[in-house]
Amino acid sequence: MTIVHIVPGSGGGFYCQNCVRDIGLAKALRRVGHDVMFVPMYLPFMETPDEDCIARSPVFYGAIHLYLAQKMPGFRRLPAFMRRWFDAPSLLRWAAGKAGTTQANGLGDLTLSVLQGREGRQRDDLDRMIAWLKTQPSPDIVHFSNALLLGLAPAMRAAFGSRIVCTLQDEDTWLDALTPPWRERCWAAVRDLSRNVDLFVPVSDTYAAKAKTFLHLPEANCETIRIGIDIETLTPSPAPPSVPTLGFLSPLQPHTGLHVLLDAFLKLKRMPELASLRLRVAGGNIAANTPYLRALRQTMAESGQDDAIECLDAHRQPQRGEFLRSLSVLSVPAVQPEAFGLFLIEAMACCVPVVQPRLGAYPEIVAATGGGVIYDNTAPQGLADALYPLLTDRETARRYGQTGRNSVLEKFNVETMADAMLRAYRSLKKKY
């Protein structure tokens, strides 16, 4: 089977759950003999140690020229060869370094324009992508990484007659953050474009229920396929850390709740039995010049606990596995719902238990694995209370961690995800 997977490249500048999911799926499909072509949009795709095993196209809809064409009408009057200068790999790598700070606010017009496909300002980009794909084997399946890319779907179906599949994971987070009138117009565009999709694949039952409501999806057009990970790259440490170590792995943005975890850490650190507690943070560039990160750095500096807090560039593999193995407990006390939480199963694969708020799909994943604790009091003190037993009782932490790993091995491995996706692809080919 030939599969074109259209993905928003992150450039590897931050912990991108969708990138880890997509590259894991592509590798698993190729291992069993299927042709998978990655088509990155905006930025180069996330780096991996063996990335050459996945065929990839050039980057289309380059982030820099895309932004300039939308915000500066005169830019579009430049000759095409001059506009393409902004797609140079060196410039896109520079833009990738800024990607972790990108916010939906202020990008409503650009989001809508991409969703408008041939009617948007990026028609030339769409035509260039299709022309390049016509030089490759014709795809049986065109799989979109998320619903924000569906502006391309009508043109892809017209050009190739392929079945259209779209994974669903946290699109609502971006769309709801847009300002009026862009929020309403973009939601309407996604709902309208959903008619071009043969199958939606939400990553959890929790998000499936939500997506069926906000996209008005019929039951037959939606199948949950949970994320699976490459177990071989995420193995337990031979021994727990010598001192209790609390970890955080997610993009360093307000909605992921690092400020909540930092407050809880400082409360726990004041307890005599946790005087040696350490906090390790990974997921992006802590030195980025955003108001949120400036405030966090100031809190860390004023806490008097600088020597017990480490902020690491460890969101890529193999450093991510090494980071997870160094932890006693992982917690990402997000303040808005997530569709899955890939860091949960990655931590559990390393026998590290998790502590998460009762929010989004976290209860679903923890219930399915038994690898952690869900808490209800989302204030820093409530998180500290939930963390305390796992940080002070190694046997309890070990038991949760081992239970979680066993479940991930059985239910959340990448081969299981790939098998389910192949069954879905094949059912579409038979159906049509």
Q: What is the DSSP string of 222-249?
A: B------B-GGG----SS--SS-EEEEE
| Dihedral angle of Cα 255, 319, 298, 288, to the nearest 10 degrees | -70
Q: What is the pLDDT of residue 49?
A: 42
Q: What is the pLDDT of residue 429?
A: 76
- Global confidence as pTM: 0.92
- Residues of the chain with pLDDT below 70 are 10-12, 45-55, 63-105, 431-432
Q: What whole-number distance in Å separates Cα of residue 390 and Cα of residue 388?
A: 6
End-to-end CA distance of the chain: 15
Q: Which amino acid is at 377?
A: N
Q: Which amino acid is at 303?
A: S
Across-strand partners of 38? Answer: 5, 56
The domains found in the chain, sorted by start residue, are: 2-228+414-431 (3.40.50.2000), 231-411 (3.40.50.2000)
Across-strand partners of 310? Answer: 280
Would you give the DSSP letter of residue 281? E
pLDDT tens-digit readout, 353-373: 999 999 999 999 999 999 999
Q: Which amino acid is at 106?
A: G
Q: What whole-number distance in Å separates Cα of residue 184 and Cα of residue 193?
A: 14
> In this structure, are residues 362 and 356 in contact, taking their beta carbons and an 8 Å threshold?
yes
Q: How many CB atoms lie within 10 A of CB 368?
A: 19
CA 272-262-291 angle, to 5 degrees, is: 150
> In this structure, are residues 408 and 285 in contact, taking their beta carbons and an 8 Å threshold?
no
Q: What is the pLDDT of residue 83?
A: 58
Q: What whole-number distance in Å separates Cα of residue 370 and Cα of residue 357?
A: 15
> In this structure, are residues 188 and 166 in contact, taking their beta carbons and an 8 Å threshold?
no
Would you give the DSSP letter of residue 179? P
Residue 420's nearest CA partner among 201, 143, 190, 172 is 201
Would you give the DSSP letter of residue 54? S
Q: Which amino acid is at 298?
A: Q
